[in-house]
Amino acid sequence: MSQEFNLRYNEIQPEINANDNMPLEQSECVTYYETEGHARNVCFVFENGNRIFLNYAHLLFCEYIHEIGAINLIFTSHRIILEGCNTGELFKSFLSQKTQEIVVQSSRYNTFLENDSAIVFQIKVIQLPDEGV
């Protein structure tokens, strides 16, 4: 019987580096599903760490307002307003139900991110009355 048992614990743990306090990179601000599918949710992550998710099946309306870089989403129970810049591609990803998670970025970090990436500075959540829209 061999006594060379090794847990390899250090290989499993992610490295902690000094850049953890830097702004999120482009791929971490908005994440997408790899393929279109059924039963999808979209998760909204706020600056304080709070999260909510809503199911795409309850998405009734999506509007892109180019002049102010906003997206207006109306679900059966909530209205979500996303404000940011370069949100046109984000709107298209809602159309194909590919957006999985949106993380709010402070507007002070927009110079660190690529110019063509979608950046959401604010998420407003309004709960709709029980009778809907």
Quote the tokens at residue 94: 């809602």
Domain annotation covers residue 41 = yes
| Number of domains the chain contains | 1
Domain annotation covers residue 86 = yes
Predicted TM-score (pTM) of the model is 0.69
Nearest to 54 by CA among 72, 66, 63, 42: 42
Pinpoint the alpha helices (H) of the chain.
9-12, 26-29, 88-95
| Rounded Cα distance, 70 and 82, in Å | 5
Torsions phi, psi of 26, nearest 5? -50, -45
Helix and strand counts by DSSP (H, E) for the chain: 3, 8
Quote the tokens at residue 50: 């709070």
Domain annotation covers residue 18 = no
pLDDT digits (tens, 9 = 90+) for 1-27: 556 666 665 566 555 454 444 444 444
Quote the tokens at residue 37: 């599918």
Domain annotation covers residue 119 = yes
Question: Domain limits at 92?
Answer: 24-127
Residue 16: exposure state from Cβ atoms within 10 A (0-12, 13-18, ≥19): exposed
Quote the tokens at residue 70: 């906003």
pLDDT digits (tens, 9 = 90+) for 87-133: 999 999 999 998 999 999 886 766 656 667 888 999 999 999 986 45
Asked if 70 and 86 count as a contact pair (C-beta separation under 8 A), the reply is: no
- Of the pLDDT bands very low, low, confident and very high (cuts 50, 70, 90), residue 30 is confident
Domain annotation covers residue 8 = no
Asked if 128 and 77 count as a contact pair (C-beta separation under 8 A), the reply is: yes
Domain annotation covers residue 51 = yes
Domain annotation covers residue 9 = no
Domain annotation covers residue 31 = yes
The overall average pLDDT reported for the chain is 80
